[in-house]
Amino acid sequence: MSQEQWPGRPPPEDRGNAGTPPPPQGGGPTHPGYPPPPSTPGGPGGGAGPQYSPPQGHPPNPPPGAYQGQTGWPPQQPGYSTQPGGYPPRPASHLGWAIVSLILFWPLGIPAVIFAAQVNGKYASGDLPGAEDSSGKARLFALIATIIGVVLIVLTVLLFVVAGFWATDNVPDTNY
C-alpha cells in the first residue's frame, strides 16, 4: 500500500497502537468472541449505520471493473457446475434404490442404505467429495444387490417351474 492511495494518512508504523484493536464504537461493554454492537446514525459511534452485506448463499460482489457476464465469475471449483446460489449440485443419494435392494438382497442392501443415508449429511457439512464418495458406494452396492436379487428370483421361479413339470411327469399311474 503506498502513500498516494491514502493521502493524509500516516504509514502503518507511524500510527501508534498499531497492534491493538480500536476502542468499542457503541459505548457499551464488549465481550471476547462477540462482535461490537452496531453503530447508529448520529450515535456514539458516529457511523452511518450498519454496513450492507449480501444475504447468505449468494456469491460475493465481483471486483471493481469485472464484467458480470464474463466467464469465470463467480469463481468455481474446477470440475463442478454450480446451481444459481453458487453451490455445486447435491449428489444423488440413491436412498429409494437402496431400500429396494435391501428387499431384494439384504446382505448388500444394508451397506447401500447406510451409504445413501450419509450423502445429505456430508453435503450439508460441506464435504462434497465425501458426499460424492458415499453416493457412488450406495449406487454400487444397490446395483450389485439388485442384480443378485433379480438373478435369485429368476432362478427360484425356474426351479419351481422345473419341479412342477417333473412332478407332473412322474405321477404314478392309478389306472389298473
* Confidence (pLDDT) at 83: 57
* Confidence (pLDDT) at 170: 76
**pLDDT beneath 50: ranges in the chain:** 3, 73
Cell numbers describing residue 37: 454492537
In the block, cell 449429511 appears at 121
Predicted TM-score of the model (pTM):
0.50
* Confidence (pLDDT) at 98: 97
**Distance (Å, rounded) from C-alpha 52 to C-alpha 45?**
17
Where are the domains positioned within the chain?
95-169
* Confidence (pLDDT) at 128: 95
* Confidence (pLDDT) at 93: 95
* Alpha helices, DSSP H, located in 31-127: 95-104, 106-124
- Residues 6 or more apart whose Cβ sits within 8 Å of residue 81: 88, 89
**Distance (Å, rounded) from C-alpha 44 to C-alpha 29?**
13
* Confidence (pLDDT) at 171: 73
